[in-house]
Structure formats: structure tokens, C-alpha cells
């Protein structure tokens, strides 16, 4: 608007103004501040008459000017042009509930008062991986609108639509996604008055967030900084690691100073350990209550903290020797992990050679 130029006052201004108002012109109203008269611009399309005319109304003074033809293209925006950007606008940290409906599955995730996310899919809630939930929310917030669909009635699909509902204390926002007959993804949301085309790569990425990827598979949830003691029993040997202040030391099998790298490798190894699958053969209630049926564990790990109750983990090798059946005092159920993952961070006699 600031770049509009005129060639001079148009003769017979009153007659020209009447002609301008009778044409299919653009009208732009600029409001500077309260108490001031608005500035009203009217620009006639080039095909109405030549040269193109610009009417300016300010402080009750009307004037009509001739202007260059390109002036029309400078201000000829469609309403949809002002909505291009992101499909959804929201604060990631404020979201408390996610409902996702895709053709193959549906699930809901809720953030509890303690800040922990739980995942629901036709069953009781499971702990959800906060990092994966964060990735999902950032993907939704950054989904881009590529262009608008002029005729929404032309959108047809043989597939079930996808939908997203995000809720916070301020209310809910919705996103509906349809794959049309040409294979393009079209979206509709409350903050856009038009249907729009979405980036197909972003929609495909959304479909990758199956419930299994969102479940928190960590076997022990704890703050690594709160660990004060770690006990590992394995193969008849016992390793005891304690922390005093910021220094780590071994108490067993012999007393010696522990390198911080080795100590934190053990602590974070336990903190980051995730199961590959739930052990289907050991889900019976009586076995779960009896530590998954692990009577003679190959590995026993105990953790003591300064701010939370103790935690224990029992592990038993499977017949093939490549996996471990795991039971923990903090996660109901029996799980399988790769033995190599555990061997990587557990101490052995080589530490004391």
C-alpha cells in the first residue's frame, strides 16, 4: 500500500469517483489510531476503464487520481493469502490432551497433574514417552499450509479422514485431514476459513506416530542425580557403587575410587534402558506377582536414592542367551531386553584389574 504511486489528479474527479464506485473495485480501509479519521482507498480494476483510478478519502477530503496499471496487482490479495502459514497455532507447553484418529488406529494421550503423560488405546493408561509426545506436538504445530483449495466441494476421498484434537485449559482446537482422489492431502481447521493443501511428507510423518512408538519403554523412571548407591549382583560377584557428595567410589568387591565416567555410564545405562517387547509368555497374574517366575535371577540390580524409594530389577537369561527377561519393582509386567545392551554398561571384574 505504501508503494502505490499516482500520476496526478484525474480530471472530472466527481464523475470519475462515481464511475469508480460503480465498478468492481478494491476498497482498503486503514485505521491508524482511535479518534482519527480512517483512510479509505478505492482502486478500480484495469478492465473497468483506462487509466486505472485510485480514490483517496482522508479527513473528509475526496480526491481521485490516475495510477499505473500495476497498482492493481500490488494490492489484489485474496482473503486466503492472509491465512497461509501453519495449519494449527498453539502453545506446545499448554496442551494437556491429544486425540489422534488415523485410518488404522486411534489413541488419546493425557498429561496428568504431575506432568507425566499417559497413553490410552482401548485399555488402561500406559506411561507415554514425553520426548515422543513432544515430537508429535511440534510436528503438528509446524505443519504448513501450501495453498488453498478454491472449491471445497471438489474434495472427495475413498479413505476415512484423519483428525486431531488438542485440548488445553483454554479449550480445544481441531484439524481434519482428507486424502483426496488425486492423492493430495487436504486439511481443515478452525483458524482457517478455507480447505488447504498440506505437505504430504508431514502427513506421512504424522502416520508414523503409532501408539507403540509413544509408549514409554523405560524400565526404571528416576532422576540420575538422586542416585546414592547402586548394587549389582551377577555371576556370584557383587559390585557396590556409592556416591558421597559429587565423588563416586567402589565399596565392593574392593574399596577404590571410581572414575566418574564409569559411574555415570552405569547410572545412565540403567536410566536409559528400554524394553524391546513385553514378554507374552509371562503375563499371567500369578507369575507377575512372583517376579515373572524368575526364581534364580542371573542379574540383580538395586538402586538407592536420596529423594525417592529404592528400586530393584531382576533379570534372567532366555534359552537362546541373547535376551533377558526383566522384572522391576516400578513397572508392572514382564519384559524382554537385549542382553548386549545390559552388558555394555554393567561392571565386571575388568574394572578392578
H or E segment at 339?
A: helix 339-345
Q: Which residues contact 154 (CB under 8 A, 6 or more apart)?
A: none
- The model carries a pTM of 0.58
Say which residues have a Cβ less than 8 Å from residue 227's Cβ, sequence separation at least 6. 243, 267, 303, 304, 305
pLDDT of residue 79: 61
CA distance 256 to 175: 59
pLDDT, tens digit (0-9, with 9 covering 90-100), for 15-29: 666 666 666 677 778
Of 7-11, 153-157, 286-290, the range with the highest mean pLDDT is: 7-11
Q: How many residues does the chain have?
A: 353
* pLDDT level of residue 286 (50, 70, 90 thresholds): very low
Cβ pair 46, 14 in contact under 8 A: no
Tell me what pLDDT residue 30 has.
81
Distance between CA atoms of 332 and 126, rounded to whole angstroms?
11
At 332 the pLDDT is 75
- The per-residue pLDDT for 307 is 81
Using alpha carbons, select from 220, 224, 240 the residue that is nearest to residue 305: 224
In the predicted model, is pLDDT for residue 336 greater than 80?
Answer: yes
What are the pLDDT digits (tens) for 119-157? 887 556 777 888 889 999 999 999 988 887 755 555 665
pLDDT in tens, 32-42: 777 777 777 77
Mean pLDDT of 300-329: 90
Banded model confidence at residue 116, pLDDT cuts 50, 70, 90: confident
- Per-residue model confidence (pLDDT) at position 289: 46
Amino acid at each position: 500500500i505504501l508503494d502505490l504511486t499516482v500520476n496526478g489528479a484525474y480530471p472530472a474527479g466527481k464523475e470519475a469517483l462515481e464511475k469508480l464506485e460503480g465498478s468492481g473495485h478494491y476498497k482498503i480501509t486503514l485505521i491508524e489510531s482511535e479518534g482519527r479519521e480512517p483512510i479509505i482507498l478505492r482502486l478500480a480494476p484495469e478492465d473497468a476503464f483506462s487509466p486505472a483510478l485510485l480514490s483517496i478519502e482522508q479527513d473528509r477530503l475526496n480526491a481521485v487520481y490516475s495510477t499505473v496499471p500495476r497498482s492493481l496487482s500490488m494490492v489484489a490479495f485474496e482473503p486466503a493469502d492472509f491465512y497461509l502459514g501453519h495449519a494449527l497455532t498453539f502453545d506446545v507447553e499448554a496442551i494437556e490432551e491429544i486425540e489422534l484418529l488415523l485410518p488404522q488406529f486411534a489413541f488419546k494421550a493425557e498429561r496428568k497433574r504431575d506432568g507425566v503423560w499417559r497413553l490410552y488405546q482401548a485399555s488402561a493408561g500406559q506411561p507415554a514417552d514425553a520426548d515422543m509426545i513432544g515430537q508429535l506436538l511440534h510436528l503438528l504445530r509446524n505443519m504448513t499450509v501450501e495453498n488453498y483449495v478454491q472449491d471445497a466441494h471438489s474434495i472427495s476421498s475413498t479413505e476415512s479422514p484423519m483428525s486431531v484434537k488438542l485440548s488445553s485449559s483454554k479449550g480445544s482446537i481441531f484439524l481434519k485431514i482428507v486424502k483426496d482422489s488425486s492423492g493430495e492431502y487436504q486439511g481443515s481447521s478452525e483458524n482457517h476459513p478455507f480447505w488447504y493443501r498440506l505437505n504430504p511428507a508431514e502427513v506421512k510423518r504424522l502416520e508414523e506416530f503409532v501408539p507403540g512408538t509413544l509408549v514409554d519403554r523405560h524400565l526404571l523412571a528416576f532422576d540420575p542425580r538422586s542416585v546414592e548407591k547402586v548394587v549389582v549382583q551377577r555371576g556370584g560377584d557383587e559390585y557396590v557403587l556409592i556416591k558421597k557428595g559429587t565423588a563416586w567410589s567402589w565399596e565392593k568387591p574392593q574399596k577404590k575410587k571410581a572414575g566418574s565416567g564409569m559411574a555415570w555410564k552405569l547410572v545412565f545405562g540403567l536410566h536409559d534402558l528400554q524394553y524391546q517387547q513385553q514378554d507374552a509368555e509371562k503375563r499371567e497374574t500369578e507369575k507377575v506377582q512372583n517376579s515373572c517366575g524368575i526364581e534364580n535371577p542371573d542379574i540383580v540390580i538395586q538402586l538407592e536414592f536420596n529423594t525417592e524409594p529404592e528400586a530393584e530389577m531382576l533379570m534372567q537369561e532366555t534359552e537362546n542367551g541373547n535376551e533377558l527377561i526383566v522384572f522391576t519393582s516400578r513397572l508392572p509386567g514382564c519384559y524382554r531386553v537385549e542382553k548386549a545392551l545390559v552388558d555394555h554398561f554393567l561392571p565386571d571384574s575388568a574394572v578392578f584389574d
